[in-house]
Each structure stands twice: as structure tokens, then as C-alpha cells.
Amino acid sequence: MSTIASLEYLRENMPHNIDMIEVILRGRSAILHIECEGVVLREETSGAYMITAENELSFNALVRYIDSPGIIATHESFYIDKLIERYNLRLEMTCRQAVWPKNKKPPEITGVENIQLLTEEHLEEVNRNYSVKVGKKYLEGRIAAGELYGAFIDNTLVGFIGLHEEGSIGILEVLKDYRRQGVAQDLIAHIINVQHAQGHIPYGQFSVENTASMALLEKTGFILSGEDELIYWLSNAKSTGAFYGD
């Protein structure tokens, strides 16, 4: 399928489609099919399918290319029930997207001086302190991929941030005793700088219920997708932990 045509279509609404755009640009996608009003692809690291379709006709043409999915990220709500019924899925999370403006200078780190890649020796501590129970296997994979960073004060791990398998910024946690001290902002600034240096457009996703993350990302300088421009993550109801790769 045409990469150029897919990108042209998706860039018509970059904040809403940044996940699919970056998966293509990072060379981690198989574009399965493109219609004049929709695209479906598979992210090769996680195996997640991503689909956007403007209408029923486009959806029917695109859904034929989804085969035995474990995870699907959908960009519209009108076909969620059809996907759930067709593939025995469940709705895991509803998100908005945040994208760093392409020509905007990355933010400076103002407080935490020591932010570094985490290693296997930090796995137990990260797994113990991360409030979202994604499973040790998932976190181990993020560390092995070199995509999980920790903030240290006096050699003590005080927080961490990373990239999910499909490339979005996440896995953000600051330990209780170090919150409201600018650690989260510095972690976000660090990973924005890393992504920018690698030629990527930094982006993240946050649950519509997570108003604290929304406020933090806006404060940092991210552009948010519209309130009605949502991403719906579905996973295979038969595969416990499939959403995070367990």
C-alpha cells in the first residue's frame, strides 16, 4: 500500500492521527489497506492494529484486512460494537492524544540533573512502584528496548518515564515522596528531547479520565486532540493481559 498516500490522508488531522503517522514514519508498520476515507495498518512491534474510517463504507472495506487481532486502536466510535462482536474484544481504554509541535523547541530540564536509561537491575523497583499494573514482562521489554528512563536524586530512583511499544510516551510515575517537585515535568522534557534528537515527533496518549495528565501535557507545550477526537483501545477478551503484551 502507498506510504505517501496514507501519510497525506492521516496528516489532514495530525493531532488525532499522530499515532498512525509516527508508526509509519518510524518504519514499524505494515500498511494493510488505504481507502479515500480511511486507513488500516498493523504496528509490527506490538502487533496492534490501528484503523481510522470516516464512514460505514470505508470501515467495511478496511475491516477485512484485520486478522485475529489481539489489540486494536480505533479512531472512531461508530464501529466499536462491530469490532467487539466480530473479534470478541473488550474496550480497555478511551484516550486523547497529545503531540509536540513539529517546529517547537524541546523544553529544558530545570531540576533533576540525573536522568538515565534504566537497566534490568531497576526492573523490580519499577514494577513495584508503577501504579498501572501492566505486568513485569511488559516493563522488562521496555527496558530491554532502551525505552525506559529514570530520574535519580542522590542515587535514588524517584521517577520514570518511557515509550510504549507503538512509540507513544507513557509509563510515567513519580514516587510519592517526590511529587509536586517538578520531577514529572523534567522526565517529560527529557523524553521529548530524546525523541526530537532521533527525528521523531513526540506524542502521548492519556485516558479521558486523567485530567492531571492532560493539564501537565498542556503546561509542557503539547497540542491536544479535540475532546471528540478519541482513540479507543480494544483487546482480545480471551487473552488476559493482551493489552500490555503479557
Crossing angle of helices 14-25 and 3-10, rounded to 10°: 160
pLDDT category at 134 given cuts 50, 70, 90 is: confident
Instruction: Tell me the C-alpha distance between 81 and 79, whole Å.
Output: 6
Task: State pLDDT tens for residues 2-27.
Answer: 899 999 999 999 999 999 999 999 99
| Cα–Cα nearest to 203, from 100, 51, 52 | 100
pTM of the entire predicted model = 0.91
Q: What is the mean pLDDT of residues 66-82?
A: 96
Name the grid cell of 89: 474484544
Q: At what angle do helices 80-87 and 56-63 cross, to 10 degrees?
A: 30
Quick one: pLDDT at residue 240?
39
In the predicted model, what is the mean pLDDT of residues 214-230? 94
* pLDDT exceeds cutoff 50 at 216: yes
pLDDT at 223 over 90: yes
Helix (H) / strand (E) element for 194: namely helix 183-197
